[in-house]
Every structure is written in C-alpha cells, then in structure tokens.
Chain A
Amino acid sequence: MTGYIARRLLFVVLVLVAVSMLVFSITALLPANVAHLILGPFAPPEQVRALELKLGLTDPIWLQYVRWAGGFLSGNLGESTLMNRPIGPLLMEAIGRSMMLTGASFVLIAVIGIGLGIIAALRHGGPLDHGISVGTYLGIAVPEFFWAIIVIIVVAAWLGWLPASGYEPLSAGFTVWAKHLIAPTMTLVFGHLAHVSRLTRSSMIEVLQSPYVTAARAKGLPERVVVMHHALRNALLPTITVLALDFGRLMGGIVVVETIFAYPGLGRLIVFSIQNRDLPTLQAAILVVAAIYALANLLADLLYARFNPKIRFGRNVG
C-alpha cells in the first residue's frame, strides 16, 4: 500500500511537470510582445529591447522555462503584468474564494447525486426512476452558462431574493456572504448533478443484477441488508472515481460561472488574464488548477484502493 501511494504520488508530480511544460510552451507561442504589454504599444524600441533583456525574453525557450519553473518551486510566481501585483497572493485569494464555491457545490452534488442515483436504481423502471432520468437528461443537456442565466432570471430578477452577482467577504457578515454564494453554487450543482446520479444509478443497477446479489437474496437476507450491505458497498466504488472526475469538471465549470456572476475566483482570474494577455498569471493559474485536479484524482485512487480489498491486499492483481 505504501509503495502504491509513493508510485501514485510520483506519477502526479511527473504529470504536473509535463503540464507545466505544456502550459509554458503554449503561452510562449502567444504573439503578444510582453515588453510591449508592460510598456504600452507606443514605447520606443530601445526601451523595449532593454526590458526584454532584463526579463530574459531573448534567451532560448528552455532557459526561460527553467527560470520560470525554478521561480515557481521557490515560491516566486512572478508579477502580474496587468495588475502589477505579485501573483502569489493574488492567486491565493482567488483559490480561497473558488474553493468555497466548489467545495459547497461538490458536497451538494455528491450527496444529492448519489442519493438520486440510488433511489432511481432501487425503483428501476418505475415512474420515479423515469422522472429522475428525464431530470438528469435535462441536467446534461443544459450548458452551465444557460443554467446561470435561468438562475439569474428566476432567483434574482424575477423573485428578487438574491443578488445577481458579485462577492462579499465573510467579514461583511454571514448572510451577505452566503447570499452571494447561493446563486453560483446552485448553477454548478444543477450543471453537474446529472453525471453523478446517472453513474450511481447504472452502477447500482449493474450490481443489483450481479450473481452475488442474487446469491444474497437466495440466502433469504432482508432486502434492506441486500441493498445496504451487499450492493451499495460495491456500487459506490466506481462512484469514487467519478466524483474525482467531477471535481475536475467543477474546476472547469467555475470559469463560466464565476465570469457570469462576477465572482472573483480562479476561473474569473483565468478569463481575465487571457483577455488581457497577462501571461504569468495565466500560466500560474492553470498550473494550480491542474495540481488541484491531479490531487483530487490521487485522493480518489487512494480511497478506491482503501475500499477495494483486491487492491488493499495487493494480491491477485495484474
């Protein structure tokens, strides 16, 4: 088990190194001249040249990468070309806000999604199952930005219950803070619920039809025991992996949702830095997202291994 964790951790590190190279090389292709961006479009050429030398932009790309990655590792993420602020604190603030949003959404998605999936599987073929199926079809079909618009129309514009956008820190009072969080959270939950519930449903149905569940019924166990003790344990195993995948999708979802709700998190920072050609911020932000995603996957793998006796005992696997 320890060896397994070590290997997975090493894999995560390697993936992140590769992602950093990918991110760096793609942004290096950007036609925008960084020096021009900093100095403005009408700066005299000598001044541009001097700054390029100072920033090392004339060096070969691998050297630039090494310097950038080295800075990243030593905690120096560089400075945002747009806001003239160190990227580190900028990013930390954004991550914190985004984590509130994704964390709340993730918990709701996991609880409601798994619950709906199990109910649908137990009522397989019944009206409740069909209802949930239709609902999840809608959930999959509606893009996040359209959910956002519906939420805004209904909750903010029509009912007038919540602010349509923006963010207030917790220091401004719990209710104000929470009110700004509800609409984007609702959007994310609507947009991602379907995936989890559909997968839980199909995995549960498959398990309920498996020979060992029939065998458990043949032992005359009460249906409650068959479902809770025999089926659920095995059905939820693949759901762990799916939840990690969904965490990654949530990290993608915040791009759109934060933009619409003017929520100053990681997603909005990324869109903002692209629109304004703020390279160092973009590189750092994407790398952070990849790291969070990779760690979520790692956690899922470890949980999967923890609950799967075949892996836990490391025998007969190959």
Chain B
Amino acid sequence: MLLIDDLTVRYRTPGGEIEALSSISLQVEKGSTVALVGESGSGKSTVALAAMGLLPQEASIPSGRILFDGQDIMMMNVEERRRLRGSRIGLIFQDPFSVLNPSLRIGDQVGEGLVHHRGFSTERAFARAIELLDEVGIVRPESVAKAYPHELSGGMRQRALIAGALASEPDLLILDEPTTALDVTIEAQILDLLEGLRRQRGMTMVFISHNLGVVRRISDEVAVLYAGQIIEQGRTEDVLQRPIHPYAKGLLAAIPRIGQKQGRLAAIPGRLPDLRNPPTGCRFARRCPFATPDSDKPQILRKLGDRQVRCTNAEALREAPWPRPGESEQFAEVVRSPHAGPVVAVEHLTKTFGRHAGFAFKWRRLATSTEIKPVNDISIEVAAGEVLGLVGESGSGKTTLGLSILRLVEPDSGTIRIAGEMVSGKAQRALESMRRSAQIVFQNPDSSLNPRKTIGELLARPIERFRLAPSGEIPARVRQLLDLVRLPAHYADRYAHQMSGGEKQRVGIARALATEPRFIVCDEPVSALDVSVQAAIVNLLADLRDRLGVAYLFISHDISVVAHIADRVAVMHHGKMVEIGRADEVMNAPKHPYTMKLLSAVPRIDGPAPRSVGERHGQVA
C-alpha cells in the first residue's frame, strides 16, 4: 500500500542544514498498522509530512521515492497529489486544539472533504458529517456538528478530526501522535475507537508516537527511529519484549512500569548527535554501553530472522540486558530527618476560581464564568523524607493544590502547616522561613530559568537572599549544588539556552535545593522530557531524597512515574481527593472506581499482550 524507499529529507535552518531523515525505507502492507517510534529529533513526524507531500518550504528531498499503491507521490504534480490527499490518504495531527479552524462549524469541517473529492452538495456533506460523528462515538452528533471547535473538549475534537479523516473513506490513515495531547482515559477511548475502525474497515495505518505503550496496543509492526535513521524494526511484541539494538533496549529499560517497583530506572546518558553533521558510523555509539571499535564504521540495517537491526554486533547483543544502576548503590542507608511528625500538614484546603473579586471595572469581560473548585476540601500530610505522589488528569486541580500549599496561589480556606509553622493566614511578607524550608520544581524547563542570567547567578541568588553563606563562599556553594545534580562546575557560566531540557531541569532542581529545603513540590517535573532523560531526572530526585531526607509532593499525570517514585499516592478528580494510600496498594488494589478506570487506561509495555494484536501479519521491509 505504502512503500518508502531510501528517503532522505533535509531542512535548511539558520544554523545550517539538518538531515532529518537519512535513507528511510519502510513498507506498509494493506490492512496492517505500522508504528514509527522515536524521541524528539528522531524525525518521525517528518515521515508523515513527506508521505502527504506537505513538507514545509525549508525542506528538501535529495533522494528517495514514496510509492502509494505503486505510484510515486513525488513524481506527481501538485493537483494529482492534492486529489490523493484526503480522498485516499487521511492524516490526523497531534494537537486537536490547533488543527481545527476556529471559525468554521465542526460539521462543515468534517464534511468538506466530501464536497471537494466526491462532489457532494454542502447539505448532503453536512448530513454525512453527522453520521460520521455518530460513528466515532460522539453523543448528540447533530448539535456537535453545529458547534464551533472552542466549544468542544480535546477528546471530542480528536474524534471530530478522525471523523473528518474518515469521511472520504481513505485507504491509508497516517496518525501523527494522535493521543499525545489527551488525558489517559480519553487516550484509551480514542485507541479503542481506532482499533474498532481498523477491524471494521480493514484500514491501513501508519501510527507515529513516542509512547511505546500506545504503540503496543495499536500496531502490528514497529520501526524505532533514532537521529533520522531506523535502528530496529520488526513485529511489535518482539521488539518491545526482546529489543536487540542497544538504543531500543535503553529506551525500554528507561520506562517505569506499574506494579514492578525498581530501585532506580535505567537511563541513557548523553544526547542526540548534531544532525547538521551526523557521524558516519553508528549514530548511537557515543551513548552506547556496548559500543565497539566497529561502531565507527557505517552501519546498515541487517536482517535477523523477521527483524532488522542497524548494528554490527546485533547477534552478540541479542540477549544482553541494558545495564541497570544498582539498588541505591551509593547510599545504603536512607537518611531520615530527625524531626518527628509530618513536615507538611494540610487540612480542609479549598480554592475557588471564577469569582469576581477586587475592582468593579470589568467592561471587557464578556461572560461571567461559573464557579469552579479546583481544590475542594483536601487534607494531606507528608512525612519527612517521604514522597507523596499526586496523580490526576488535566483540570483535576493537582497543580493548584501544589501552588496553594506554598501560598503561590492564595487558598480560600483551610490550614497549612509546613515544618511545624502555621503558614495559612499569614501575610506574604511573614512567610520568609517557610519560603526557605519549602521549595518548588516546575514543569517547563524553558520557562523556569530566567534566560538573561547565568546558571551561577541563578543558583547564587537563593543563597544570597536567605544569607545562607558569606559572599566569599557562594561560588563554592554553587559548585556543590551543580555537583549534587551531577552537572559539571563550568556550567555555572552558561545560560539556559545553551543547555538541553534535561540539564535545565537539573538546574531547576539545584535552585530548589539551594535553600536547603525540607519539602519540595515537584510540579510535573519530567512531563516535558523524553523518556530516556525522564529516567535520569527521576533517579536524581530519588537519590536526593535518600541523601538529604527532603520530602516531595510529586505531581504528575503519568501514573507509571508516580508509581515508581512515590511512597504513597493520592488520586485527584475534579478537585476532590478520591483515594490515598501506599503506592503499591493503590496500584495493585485500587479501591475507588476512578482510580481503577485511570489504571486500566494506562497503555503498558509489559503484562499480557493487549487484545487486538494477533493474526494479521503486516510486513515491514
């Protein structure tokens, strides 16, 4: 159905030309689903755009063919390619929030392909759109068809987009991270929908994702991309359970698994090679624990049974496991804080949004919003040196709770005690000692560091602010902090933009540690990071807890990560805490129906094979 042969794509950027894809070859059989998997920078999304003939102007294609049903897409003229798109090939994008036109009704957007490809009248297309919306599981499709995108939730929008892609009954569907922007429970629904469609319509799909759990549920074949090359491909279950290429091994080892508590996660050191000038040999060699002198030679995809692997040592590595860090290798004994009692105690905390407080001049306000309670009567305690995990989907109020505890958002009612000090009810000015003992690590490494200051200045400031060291000793303290988060001392002279996402997050952690806090709110600290980097940061946080006895409120939407690091887990839903308990108990024997729903929605990379993968054998060449 789709055959990509020796495809190379380059992008012109201000910094030089980047090779986004290097000689990619891929074959998708009719009726099969092939997944492309990789972290950021692997080039996986470029494949989708190239196959649709939608590459941006900066892109050039020095070599390769893309055959759809035997016809070369790149040899077609613009008009022929346009007719192919949307009628025989459908594309579904990652972010359902920006790919729907804000000023057109949903029904028009779903049906418009029919008007232009099938010659439907507008009315007939709209009527068909309603049927399609019904088919993708939207309740009350008539009213949704008449709605505008901003009135719909993310899951509904993604369903509408799928309906739009299905409208002209394409033979091939390309899905670029279709569930990444969605909550897990919504993601599970969308995956169910896609599986159903595939069964009923015998649809061929190319599924692009960074999430191996999702891929495992949906695809027959998987191709793992690294730095613009396919490094391993084969049947999904084989590759995921018994990876051969070192990168695939590392990637899988870095993923935390629910119900299988390990001491530390495996992490992949280093970073992507410079794609302006990629190494001629193995592109992974510099990060590879199995690298040999042979790795410097150009690597080709080699066949190993029904698998293909881009590694000269593939046979030898077949059974070798990715090296795992030892169980708390450095600190056998966990240092617990000598203080008795909880370091944080919160009682009946409530925060309401949507009230019109303050000045009465609200001319510009268009609609009075209704009251919502993102934090509704929450009581929690965190013991010294304990990690309390807080999970919930977007809008559950978990971040608001974290910020309210630190008085970065003013709660409406309830009491907060931090390190024995009553924090609620005090004026902001009087919170100095609390600000020292309680700190925060943020989600977004690009936003959390002031871009105009060096890392040294950033880390020195808290020490100056609380006069924790005489000014002569500050540089030494900064070096200690950098060492604590395993960054070299010369990073003190760098600016944030000169570092990678993981490194920036380490600086964020070091800054929080600078005041020698006893409690840190970690607000989605690894959500913006790739899996391999995420593992290293999670390990670091765990080590620091053991070494310094600091307690965390670890907020995340990713249950697997929370399950891995937390001692206890609290689950939030619509501002309420529905369950709290020991991590293993909550994960293995959840009591609240919402927790059960949440846990069953998580796509896993281990455990019994998901239901749909089975008899069909697509072939990947």
Contact (Cβ within 8 A) B52 A221:
no
Contact (Cβ within 8 A) A220 B82:
yes
Contact of A211 among B83, B99, B363 (CB under 8 A): B99
Contact (Cβ within 8 A) B116 A221:
yes
Give residues of chain A (1-43) contacting chain B, Cβ–Cβ below 8 Å: 4, 7-8, 10-11
What residues on A are CB-neighbors of B197 within 8 Å?
A: none
B120 at interface by CB-CB < 8 Å: no
What residues on A are CB-neighbors of B99 within 8 Å?
A: 211-212, 214-215
Contact of A225 among B85, B116, B365 (CB under 8 A): B116
Contact of B103 among A211, A222, A234 (CB under 8 A): A234
A54 at interface by CB-CB < 8 Å: no
What residues on A are CB-neighbors of B84 within 8 Å?
A: 220
| Given A309-B150, A313-B148, also A218-B102 (CB < 8 A) | no
Contact with A along B105-142 (1 / 0, CB 8 A): 00000001100110000000000000000000000000
What residues on B are CB-neighbors of A212 within 8 Å?
A: 98-102
Q: Measured between alpha carbons, how far is A309 from B166 in the docked complex, in Å?
A: 26
Contact with B along A202-235 (1 / 0, CB 8 A): 0000000011101111111111010001100110
Contact (Cβ within 8 A) B363 A7:
yes
B381 at interface by CB-CB < 8 Å: no
Contact with A along B147-159 (1 / 0, CB 8 A): 0101100000000
| Given A219-B113, A220-B86, A220-B87, also A314-B101 (CB < 8 A) | no
| Given A214-B54, A215-B93, A220-B86, also A8-B100 (CB < 8 A) | no
Give chain B nearest CB distance to A213 CB in angstroms.
8
Contact (Cβ within 8 A) A230 B104:
yes
Contact (Cβ within 8 A) B164 A219:
yes
Contact (Cβ within 8 A) B112 A221:
yes
Contact (Cβ within 8 A) A222 B101:
no
A318 at interface by CB-CB < 8 Å: yes
| Given A220-B82, A220-B85, also A4-B366 (CB < 8 A) | yes
Q: Measured between alpha carbons, how far is A6 from B104 in the docked complex, in Å?
A: 27
Contact (Cβ within 8 A) A310 B93:
no
Q: Measured between alpha carbons, how far is A307 from B112 in the docked complex, in Å?
A: 20
| Given A215-B93, A222-B116, A310-B150, also A233-B103 (CB < 8 A) | yes
Give residues of chain B (27-55) contacting chain A, Cβ–Cβ below 8 Å: 52, 54
B569 at interface by CB-CB < 8 Å: no
What residues on A are CB-neighbors of B116 within 8 Å?
A: 219-222, 225
Contact with B along A280-318 (1 / 0, CB 8 A): 000000000000000000000000000111110111111
Give residues of chain A (153-199) contacting chain B, Cβ–Cβ below 8 Å: none
Q: Measured between alpha carbons, how far is A309 from B148 in the docked complex, in Å?
A: 7
Contact (Cβ within 8 A) A217 B101:
no
Give chain A nearest CB distance to B172 CB in angstroms.
12
Contact (Cβ within 8 A) B151 A218:
no
Q: Measured between alpha carbons, how far is A214 from B86 in the docked complex, in Å?
A: 12
Range of interface residues on chain B? 20 to 34
B277 at interface by CB-CB < 8 Å: no
Closest to B57 in A: A125
Q: Measured between alpha carbons, how far is A229 from B112 in the docked complex, in Å?
A: 10
Give chain A nearest CB distance to B530 CB in angstroms.
22
Contact (Cβ within 8 A) B363 A8:
yes
What residues on B are CB-neighbors of A237 within 8 Å?
A: 103
| Given A215-B93, A314-B366, also A221-B113 (CB < 8 A) | yes
What residues on A are CB-neighbors of B98 within 8 Å?
A: 210-212
| Given A217-B85, A219-B113, A225-B116, also A316-B151 (CB < 8 A) | yes
Q: Measured between alpha carbons, how far is A311 from B151 in the docked complex, in Å?
A: 11
Closest to A310 in B: B150
What residues on B are CB-neighbors of A318 within 8 Å?
A: 365, 367, 369
B91 at interface by CB-CB < 8 Å: yes
What residues on B are CB-neighbors of A315 within 8 Å?
A: 150-151, 367
B579 at interface by CB-CB < 8 Å: no
Q: Measured between alpha carbons, how far is A309 from B161 in the docked complex, in Å?
A: 19
Q: Measured between alpha carbons, how far is A237 from B104 in the docked complex, in Å?
A: 13
B5 at interface by CB-CB < 8 Å: no
What residues on B are CB-neighbors of A215 within 8 Å?
A: 91, 93, 99-100, 161
What residues on B are CB-neighbors of A308 within 8 Å?
A: 103
Q: Measured between alpha carbons, how far is A230 from B86 in the docked complex, in Å?
A: 16
Closest to A212 in B: B101
Contact of B85 among A218, A314, A317 (CB under 8 A): A218
B95 at interface by CB-CB < 8 Å: yes
Q: Measured between alpha carbons, how far is A223 from B99 in the docked complex, in Å?
A: 17
Q: Measured between alpha carbons, how far is A7 from B368 in the docked complex, in Å?
A: 13
| Given A210-B98, A211-B93, A225-B116, also A218-B148 (CB < 8 A) | no
Give chain B nearest CB distance to A70 CB in angstroms.
26
Closest to B86 in A: A220
Closest to A318 in B: B369
What residues on A are CB-neighbors of B148 within 8 Å?
A: 309-310, 313
Closest to B362 in A: A7
Q: Measured between alpha carbons, how far is A62 from B369 in the docked complex, in Å?
A: 40
Q: Measured between alpha carbons, how far is A315 from B149 in the docked complex, in Å?
A: 11
Q: Measured between alpha carbons, how far is A7 from B369 in the docked complex, in Å?
A: 16
What residues on B are CB-neighbors of A8 within 8 Å?
A: 363
Contact (Cβ within 8 A) B86 A10:
no
What residues on B are CB-neighbors of A11 within 8 Å?
A: 363
What residues on B are CB-neighbors of A4 within 8 Å?
A: 366
What residues on A are CB-neighbors of B87 within 8 Å?
A: 220
Contact (Cβ within 8 A) B86 A221:
yes
Contact with A along B50-65 (1 / 0, CB 8 A): 0010100000000000
Give chain A nearest CB distance to B298 CB in angstroms.
35
Contact (Cβ within 8 A) B82 A317:
no
Give chain B nearest CB distance to A315 CB in angstroms.
6
Q: Measured between alpha carbons, how far is A313 from B54 in the docked complex, in Å?
A: 34
Which residue, of B98, B150, B366, has the highest number of chain A Cβ atoms within 10 A? B366
| Given A218-B54, A222-B116, also A234-B101 (CB < 8 A) | yes
Q: Measured between alpha carbons, how far is A49 from B86 in the docked complex, in Å?
A: 85
What residues on B are CB-neighbors of A7 within 8 Å?
A: 363, 365
What residues on A are CB-neighbors of B52 within 8 Å?
A: 218
Closest to A305 in B: B366
Closest to A219 in B: B86
What residues on B are CB-neighbors of A217 within 8 Å?
A: 54, 82, 85
Q: Measured between alpha carbons, how far is A309 from B150 in the docked complex, in Å?
A: 8
Interface residues of B (CB under 8 A from A): 52, 54, 82-87, 90-91, 93, 95, 98-104, 112-113, 116-117, 148, 150-151, 161, 164-165, 363, 365-367, 369
- 13 A-B contact pairs sorted by A residue (CB < 8 Å): A11-B363, A210-B98, A211-B95, A211-B99, A214-B54, A214-B93, A220-B83, A307-B103, A309-B102, A313-B148, A314-B366, A317-B366, A317-B367
Besides A211-B98, A218-B93, A310-B148, 6 more A-B contacts (Cβ < 8 Å) are A211-B99, A218-B52, A219-B116, A233-B101, A313-B151, A315-B367
Interface residues of A (CB under 8 A from B): 4, 7-8, 10-11, 210-212, 214-223, 225, 229-230, 233-234, 237, 307-311, 313-318
- The 4 A-B pairs at the shortest CB distance, nearest first, are namely A220-B86, A220-B85, A219-B86, A309-B148
